[in-house]
Homo-oligomer: A and B are copies of this chain.
């Protein structure tokens, strides 16, 4: 729900790029032209463009202009710089999706979990295991831990739909940022069970471990998202610092 002006402009230009109104390789209108079109200051246009640079949609070239380097993808891209729910990502990629909760438990943070997650020892958490099924194929196996004091009232049913919807829209939790680390790990028995893996196939998975903070600065989520390699891809854009 963009409220800020620059977010609206960002989204408008982003849509135009995706629809190829601004085609690959060509220059966008100059900042001055965009500023006239959107009737705002040049700074506001620049903020919108900065966002598009972050996601690798355009590149800015001093003295020349801003060039579109977005190409419509044929592969499934699941993550970018934004925090996106599984549902949002599936919709963006035009895929059917389904989530199955295979485990739901309330438990207390022990030393081991505290160590790897950063949760304080002794806190109560919800521990959920979910399988995400895309186009009929089980592709992702998730271990989710949510701090009970923040995610109060979470149930297996809610987890089957969308936990973030519940947190944001029902509980009013404001999600700020999520630190993510991507690694490759050996397959476990649980992975084998829920992702239908044969032994002759890949013996490891792409794992995204994320720790997420709310508006109070409280770490309230620790998640391990284990992805089948053949369908995993993670895109980022890097910029050379001057």
Return the contact of A234 from the options B2, B25, B182, B186 (Cβ within 8 A). Answer: B182
- Residue of B1, B176, B179, B184 near A206 (CB, 8 A) is B184
Stretch of A28-36, A53-61, A93-101, A143-151 at the chain-chain interface? A53-61
8 Å CB interface, A201-242 against B: 202-206, 210, 213, 215-217, 229, 232-242
A residues apposed to B, CB below 8 Å:
1-4, 7, 25, 53-54, 56, 59-62, 64, 67, 69, 79-83, 175-186, 202-206, 210, 213, 215-217, 229, 232-242
From A241, which residue of chain B is reached at the shortest CB distance? B82
Least CB distance from A241 to B in Å reads: 5
Query: In the assembly, how many copies of this chain are there?
Result: 2
Inter-subunit contact B181/A235 (CB<8 Å): yes
Give the chain B neighbours of A233 by CB distance below 8 A. 181-183
Q: How far is the CB of A45 from chain B (nearest CB, A)?
A: 16
CB distance from A78 to the nearest CB of B (A): 11
Residues of B within 8 A of A234 (CB): 181-183, 234
Give which listed residue, B1, B180, B184, B242, contacts A1 with CB less than 8 A. B242
Q: Report which of B54, B69, B176, B181 forms a contact with A59, defined as CB distance below 8 A.
A: B176
A230, closest chain B residue (CB): B184
CB–CB B217/A67 < 8 A? yes
Contact yes or no, B177 A59, CB < 8 A: yes
A180 touching B232 by the CB < 8 A rule? no
Q: How far is the CA of A20 from the CA of B183 in the complex (A)?
A: 26
Known: A61-B217, A229-B183, A232-B184. A79 touches B238 (CB 8 A): yes
Most chain B beta-carbon contacts within 10 A, residue among A4, A54, A176, A236:
A236
